[in-house]
Structure 1
Amino acid sequence: MKFNSTEEYIATDDLRLAVNAAITLERPLLVKGEPGTGKTMLAEQLAESLGLRLIQWHIKSTTRAHQGLYEYDAVSRLRDSQLGVEGVHDISNYIVKGKLWEAFESEEQVVLLIDEIDKADIEFPNDLLLELDKMEFHVYETQEQIKAKKRPIVIITSNNEKDLPDAFLRRCFFHYISFPDKETMKEIVRVHYPDVQEQLVKEALEVFFDVRKVPGLKKKPSTSELVDWIKLLMADDISEETLRERDPTKAIPPLAGALVKNEQDVHLLEKLAFMARRSS
């Protein structure tokens, strides 16, 4: 199985090589990169490209590693025992399967996405070392040994909010998704909007990359935000002439709310425009 770009996803050569290397090595692919560079979408498009089912496990700050394996619902069992519910003595009725269990018991190979692993506690990755390495785990309540019928293709994403343990990193194939250059970005835009005017894309990209270059910007606009912005430009019929205007006193581009997402950056752009007006 080889992964390539799809109709909805432009994968660079190095990203394709990384995905296919991880598949060959049968190791989880750890993907890092700026928010909005398509890390989560990679798993979705990989599954579509290979014709496999996608199982998604979105990690939160409160997520525990054991939830990916299973949870024992002791509260429900206690309640049912008080009510005299039939089957209460069968503990397996109160085992809730997690995403890893779901992936392991699948008769066909699946793509398992562990999304934003760095949101969880620092011990979270270490708690999954054995399970991801050996592709099996033990259910203590029922004394079952759950082993993957078909080894899943594991994609793990991280926004680099915290460092991951070395022992975990050793078991992964790593790839950093670099921010796309202008030519790659043009291809991405065309995938989303095949009928968009070439000149509009050209001028929009000039503005987009100019905004990203502003020193001191707290949050640089991402690929997904560019795609949203171009959609708005097309919907509001903003001309390329409007975007081409390079008046330094107008530092904020039209419909900038799609690109600039916090008040500090808005104030920074306004300050730059104010300083440009004073110096002109």
Structure 2
Amino acid sequence: MRFTGTDSYVATDDLTVAVNAAVTLERPLLVKGEPGTGKTELARQVSNALRLPMIEWHIKSTTKAQQGLYEYDAVSRLRDSQLGDAKVNDVANYIKRGKLWQAFEADGRVVLLIDEIDKADIEFPNDLLQELDRMEFHVYETGETVRAKHRPIMIITSNNEKELPDAFLRRCFFHYIRFPDIDTMRKIVEVHHPGIKDALLTTALTQFYEIRDQQGLKKKPSTSEVLDWLKLLLAEDLTSEDLKRDGASALPKMHGALLKNEQDVHLFERLAFMARSQR
């Protein structure tokens, strides 16, 4: 059971090594990197490549670790007891199974994605330590212990919004997805936009990396954004000549796909103004 990438996902050598090492060690793979570098998509591609079902747990700022195990609906049980409903006699009727429980009880191995773990409270990772170690947890309301039938392949993503606890990091295999260099980006583009003309791609990627390298940029455009931008260029049937800037503006064509806030747009407008002033 080895991951080597897929036809629709360009995985670098160091990324495939990380995935396979985590699978071999039976440890969660903690993946960090800029937003839009394919962290979430990696889990889906691992699922497809290894032909395993996938369970996705998308973390929000309000998510608690307990929700991944189960939730007990005491309010519904109280209401049903007032109505004389017979199902109140079985507390299991009011237990909602979380994503970890679903992964643990699966008849075969699954890929479990815990997406953007850094969005949650700082205690969230610590609250999962025992479950990650022992692959089991106790349901206090029913008295049962839920144990994993098969250890899931666990992929945890983080955008580095906050530091994760050392105790949690020790239990993971870590990989940082570096932003693709231009050669890797060409391969990624070819997967999503096969047959794109080389002159257009060269000009577009040159402008894209110039934008990313611009000092003072608040939000650098990501891989997903350059793919959207190229899709727009192709839809408008633009050529490499159309992309050439005339000096009146430092902004690229369809720049709204790349620059996502007014500060960055104003930055390039000021650069164009300065360039004209120096002529």
Question: Fold-level match, TM-score > 0.5?
Answer: yes
1:49 is matched with which residue?
Answer: 49
**Aligned counterparts of 2:232 and 2:72: Cα–Cα separation in 1:** 48
SS of equivalent residue, structure 1 residue 36 = coil
1:264 is matched with which residue?
Answer: 263
Task: Give TM-score scaled by structure 1 length.
Answer: 0.98
2:70 is matched with which residue?
Answer: 70
Give the superposed CA RMSD: 0.8
The size of the alignment, in residue pairs, is 279
SS of equivalent residue, structure 2 residue 61 = coil
**Aligned counterparts of 1:69 and 1:145: Cα–Cα separation in 2:** 11
Q: How does 1:1-280 map to 2 (within 5 A)?
A: 1-243=1-243, 245-280=244-279
**Aligned counterparts of 1:206 and 1:247: Cα–Cα separation in 2:** 16
Identical pairs, percent:
68
**Aligned counterparts of 1:82 and 1:247: Cα–Cα separation in 2:** 75
**Aligned counterparts of 1:218 and 1:249: Cα–Cα separation in 2:** 23
SS of equivalent residue, structure 2 residue 88 = coil
SS of equivalent residue, structure 1 residue 252 = coil
Task: Give TM-score scaled by structure 2 length.
Answer: 0.99
Alignment-mate amino acid for residue 169 of structure 1: L
Query: Per-residue CA shift, 1:45-90, capped at 9, x if unaligned?
Result: 0000000011000000000000000000001101111111121110
Q: Which runs of no fewer than 5 residues in structure 1 stay unpaired?
A: none
Structure 1 residue 246: Cα displacement: 4.7
Question: Is the contact between residue 245 and residue 252 of structure 2 (CA under 8 Å) also seen in structure 1?
Answer: no
Alignment-mate amino acid for residue 88 of structure 1: V
SS of equivalent residue, structure 1 residue 113 = strand
Alignment-mate amino acid for residue 52 of structure 2: L
Alignment-mate amino acid for residue 160 of structure 2: N
Question: Is the contact between residue 119 and residue 161 of structure 2 (CA under 8 Å) also seen in structure 1?
Answer: yes
Alignment-mate amino acid for residue 255 of structure 2: A
Query: Per-residue CA shift, 1:124-166, capped at 9, x if unaligned?
Result: 0000001011110000000110000010000000000000000
SS of equivalent residue, structure 2 residue 57 = strand
Q: Which runs of no fewer than 5 residues in structure 2 stay unpaired?
A: none
**Aligned counterparts of 1:129 and 1:250: Cα–Cα separation in 2:** 53
